[in-house]
């Protein structure tokens, strides 16, 4: 039994070191080093190169090193008959909620506009908005969406949420299913996308959705770039139906230099870093699953392959 870590960023060694720190006896390898492929039972991955999972004949579990798993389903060569797990972690959840709150407050208090004005030495007061007067709509009420919604109510926002199946969260008006999407959108002034990316939600942030939001609505996409139809966002920012957008995720990451988002005055960009797995916090659940795998016990945070999340 062994664990292979597959990821293409510079964090691969720090993940390996963290696992060894928590369990000095574990057999853990970076996929870049020499390792016994037939001894690997768990692949701990993040945006792995497509095809790389097919090299392990005795793989028993694919563990995502993040909350999302869409990139695993996007690899048609990934084994189809073994469990996929994802991370559910208090920091991953609260970091997202803090990020969304920071974005919303900076928009209500016009910090984005003032930063632009500052680059032109342009003094121009602009009316700000109060928390109590603003309705935030959250699409996706899973772990991240539900906590973000609850936190925003505590700060004083009017909060509503939309999800595939009906959810109940204290002080949050909840909607579910495609039939209620219009009603949800019609009264959402700041839209936060925290949906899982599946064939049903791909491209959901598009012209038809933007049209149903009130004029002046603001978009925050902290889910996946695949949710957004880029050209529709630009069209609805340019025709002034939307007041702005803050994006953390993109179709291609890093976003190519020539992409129009970079220079758009109404778009605020962050580099897919709203909420990032903290190895000290998440490794215990990964090692717990590794132990469960060895003992044939049910795994924590297993993904429903049918739903895709």
**CA separation for the pair 66, 196 (Å, rounded):** 12
The two tokens of residue 237 are: 């920012």
What 3-state DSSP class applies to 206? coil
**CA separation for the pair 21, 10 (Å, rounded):** 19
Do residues 69 and 48 lie in contact, with contact meaning Cβ atoms separated by under 8 Å?
A: no
In angstroms, give the least distance from the CB of 101 to ligand GLV: 18
Stretch that binds ligand GLV, among 64-72, 75-83, 182-190, 202-210 (CB under 6 A): 64-72
Do residues 183 and 175 lie in contact, with contact meaning Cβ atoms separated by under 8 Å?
A: yes
The two tokens of residue 301 are: 């945070």
Does 246 sit near ligand GLV (CB under 6 A)? Answer: no
Of 222, 91, 94, the closest CA to residue 146 belongs to 94
Is 93 or 113 the residue whose CB approaches ligand GLV more closely? 93
Nearest residue to ligand GLV by CB is: 66
**Among residues 224, 227, 259, 264, which one is catalytic?**
224
Is 68 or 79 the residue whose CB approaches ligand GLV more closely? 68
In angstroms, give the least distance from the CB of 207 to ligand GLV: 25
Does 66 sit near ligand GLV (CB under 6 A)? Answer: yes
Is 36 or 90 the residue whose CB approaches ligand GLV more closely? 90
**CA separation for the pair 286, 121 (Å, rounded):** 51
Q: Which of 68, 140, 145, 226 binds ligand GLV (CB under 6 A)?
A: 68
272 is a catalytic site residue: yes
**CA separation for the pair 3, 42 (Å, rounded):** 5
Q: Which bin fits 171, alpha (ψ -120 to 50), beta or left (φ > 0)?
A: left
Does 161 sit near ligand GLV (CB under 6 A)? Answer: no
Is 67 or 191 the residue whose CB approaches ligand GLV more closely? 67
224 is a catalytic site residue: yes
Q: Which of 44, 59, 67, 267 binds ligand GLV (CB under 6 A)?
A: 67
Number of residues that this document lists for the chain: 309
Is 68 or 145 the residue whose CB approaches ligand GLV more closely? 68
Catalytic residues: 224, 272
Q: Give the binding site for ligand GLV (CB under 6 A).
A: 66-68
């Amino acid at each position: 039994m062994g664990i292979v870590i597959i990821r293409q960023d510079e964090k691969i060694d720090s993940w390996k070191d963290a696992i060894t720190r928590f369990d000095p006896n574990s057999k853990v390898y970076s996929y870049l080093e020499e390792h016994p492929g037939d001894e690997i039972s768990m692949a701990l991955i993040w945006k792995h190169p497509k095809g790389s999972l097919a090299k392990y004949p005795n793989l028993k579990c694919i563990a995502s090193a993040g909350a999302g798993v869409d990139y695993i389903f996007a690899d048609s060569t990934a084994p189809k008959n073994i469990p996929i797990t994802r991370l559910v972690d208090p920091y991953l959840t609260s970091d997202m909620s803090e990020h969304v709150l920071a974005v919303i407050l900076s928009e209500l208090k016009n910090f984005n506009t003032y930063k632009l004005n500052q680059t032109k030495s342009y003094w121009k007061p602009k009316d700000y908005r109060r928390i109590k007067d603003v309705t935030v709509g959250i699409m996706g009420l899973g772990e991240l969406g539900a906590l973000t919604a609850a936190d925003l109510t505590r700060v004083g926002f009017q909060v509503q949420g939309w999800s595939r199946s009906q959810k109940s969260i204290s002080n949050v008006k909840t909607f579910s299913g495609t039939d209620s999407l219009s009603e949800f959108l019609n009264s959402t002034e700041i839209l936060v996308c925290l949906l899982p990316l599946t064939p049903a939600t791909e491209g959901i942030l598009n012209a038809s959705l933007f049209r149903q939001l009130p004029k002046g609505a603001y978009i925050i996409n902290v889910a996946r770039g695949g949710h957004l139809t880029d050209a529709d966002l630009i069209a609805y920012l340019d025709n002034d139906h939307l007041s702005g957008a803050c994006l953390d995720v993109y179709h291609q990451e890093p976003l190519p230099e020539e992409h129009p988002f970079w220079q758009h005055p109404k778009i605020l960009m962050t580099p897919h870093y709203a909420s990032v797995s903290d190895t000290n916090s998440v490794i215990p659940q990964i090692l717990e699953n590794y132990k469960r795998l060895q003992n044939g016990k049910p795994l924590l945070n297993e993904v429903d392959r049918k739903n895709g999340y």
